[in-house]
């Protein structure tokens, strides 16, 4: 195992967007552009930067693949209930 400082560890990520957010932004983005790199946006940080759902919790891929089916009978009524006025003596 190799122990890297937090600076080097953050720059060693596969995501150039995540690496650029930490430091050496110009160098990281220039290198990514000249090498025609693409970022697969698999991590938390790069998805937050891009404004996407994070790949965890309700944003996880397993939680995003669902289908919606219409029920035969509604679970509850969508009608607005009638409110009756009651006279208050006083």
Looking at residue 26, its pLDDT comes to 93
Number of domains in the chain: 1
Looking at residue 36, its pLDDT comes to 95
The answer to whether residue 76 is domain-embedded is no
Looking at residue 81, its pLDDT comes to 67
Question: Closest Cα to residue 50, out of 59, 60, 39?
Answer: 39
CATH of the domain at 59: 1.10.150.390
Is 15:8 a contact under the CB 8 Å cutoff? no
Range of the domain at 11: 6-63
The answer to whether residue 45 is domain-embedded is yes
Number of other residues whose CB lies within 10 A of the CB of residue 58: 8
Looking at residue 20, its pLDDT comes to 87
pTM above 0.95, yes or no: no
- Averaged over successive runs of 10 residues, the pLDDT of the chain (90 residues) comes to 63 81 87 94 88 81 74 74 69
- For residue range 5-21, what is the model confidence (pLDDT) as tens digits? 666 655 567 888 988 88
Distances (CA, A) of 51 to 15, 45, 72: 15, 10, 37
Looking at residue 45, its pLDDT comes to 87
Q: Is 21 exposed, middle or buried (0-12, 13-18, 19+ CB in 10 A)?
A: middle
The answer to whether residue 71 is domain-embedded is no
**Rounded Cα gap, residues 37 and 16, in angstroms:** 8
């Amino acid at each position: 195992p190799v122990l890297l400082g937090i600076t080097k560890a953050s720059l060693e990520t596969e995501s150039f967007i995540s690496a650029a957010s930490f430091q050496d932004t110009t160098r990281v983005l220039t290198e990514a552009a000249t090498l025609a790199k693409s970022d697969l946006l698999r991590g938390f940080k790069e998805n937050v930067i891009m404004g996407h759902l994070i790949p965890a919790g309700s944003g996880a891929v397993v939680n995003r693949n669902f289908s919606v089916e219409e029920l035969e009978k509604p679970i509850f009524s969508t009608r607005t209930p009638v409110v009756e006025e009651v006279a208050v003596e006083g």
